[in-house]
Structure 1
Amino acid sequence: MKFIKIAWRPEFSGFHLDPTAYLDELPGLQATLPPGAWNFASEADHYSMRAPRCVKDLELSNISVPVRKEGRLSLGFSANPWKHESGLNIEYFQVSRFSVESDHEIDWMQGDTVLLDEILPFSGGCRHEIALTDSLIIVECEDLVATWGDV
């Protein structure tokens, strides 16, 4: 991620998350982000850590990869029952890159929760990076639509 800072803090057995630099940059990105990406990134509670519509603590629940390039990539995130009122589904249009990266073997049997995400302008659309506890999802696409509700 370019602006959001995420660091493991062993003394707290947890992550230190700081979206401040991204939030400072975000207003200047409105003209260069696609409309769906802008709407999602600029939602009032998106980075408010205790808010029910903050992405932090959502759990990756499904990935739907299209067979053809004109299809839509979809990521589903389940609600954390102690924080969220509903889950989140993100659909990506005209995807040019999709990857799930990790420095170590991912345990797919354990839940992988969202730490934070960052959406930046990218050639012909946007680049969405989602930092999870065990991995990093990267999607480069024309635009996206994020919908809160049942996943």
Structure 2
Amino acid sequence: MRYIRVERTSDGYCIDPTDYIAQLPQLAGSLPAGAGAFATDPQHYDFHSTRFVKNLKPQKLVAGHTDGDAWLEFQLRHNCWRHEEDLTIRYSGVSRAVIHPPAGNHDIQGLQEVLLDEILPHNDGCSHEIVCLGGSVTIVCNDLTATWTKADCPDR
């Protein structure tokens, strides 16, 4: 990641979006509409928000083509103590997708919980990097749409 800091420490992890948040006003105008809306949502980097992406759990990555346009759909499941909703991110016009470490058949559950993500302008539209406890996903696309849907949390 360029601006967001995710570092392993002796106590766990240090995650700090401060520099990215400071850059967002300048970056937002260069992001496609959906990516800009998701990145600048006030809850996205609010550690106390139920829509803060930390602790979401990657569940499924689905790939396809529609009219020659490559797309990906990344499904992230809630963590009941933090979230009230699941998150689905639909990437359109995908030009590159890298999963590290590589996952067979788009099985991304081994990435474990999300630590943080960063969306940046790119010549193809935008890049979205999601760093997890067990690896990362980077997708370059024309745009993305993030959709939150009510989750089944029995304690809420």
TM-score for both structures, normalised by structure 1: 0.90
Contact 1:88–1:150 (Cα < 8 Å) also in 2: no
Change (3 A) 1:150 1:99: farther
For residue 124 of structure 1, report the CA deviation from its aligned partner.
Answer: 2.6
2:148 equivalent in structure 1: 148
Change (3 A) 1:97 1:108: closer
Identical aligned residues as a percent = 36
1:56 equivalent in structure 2: 54
1:81 equivalent in structure 2: 80
For residue 71 of structure 1, report the CA deviation from its aligned partner.
Answer: 4.0
Change (3 A) 1:87 1:122: same
Tell me whether 1:15 sits opposite 2:13 in the alignment.
Answer: yes
Residues 12-50 of structure 1: CA distance to partner in whole angstroms, max 9, x if unpaired?
1x2110000000000001221000000000001101112
C-alpha distance in 1, partners of 2:19/2:37? 19
C-alpha distance in 2, partners of 1:98/1:111? 15
2:37 equivalent in structure 1: 39
For residue 145 of structure 1, report the CA deviation from its aligned partner.
Answer: 0.2
Residues 83-114 of structure 1: CA distance to partner in whole angstroms, max 9, x if unpaired?
100110000000000110139xxx96656111
C-alpha distance in 1, partners of 2:117/2:37? 14
1:138 equivalent in structure 2: 138
The structure with the largest strand share of the pair is: 2
Change (3 A) 1:110 1:125: closer
Opposite residue 100 of structure 2, the aligned amino acid is: E
Residue ranges of structure 2 left out of the alignment (5+ in a row): 152-156
Tell me whether 1:93 sits opposite 2:131 in the alignment.
Answer: no
C-alpha distance in 2, partners of 1:99/1:71? 14
Contact 2:70–2:95 (Cα < 8 Å) also in 1: no
TM-score for both structures, normalised by structure 2: 0.87
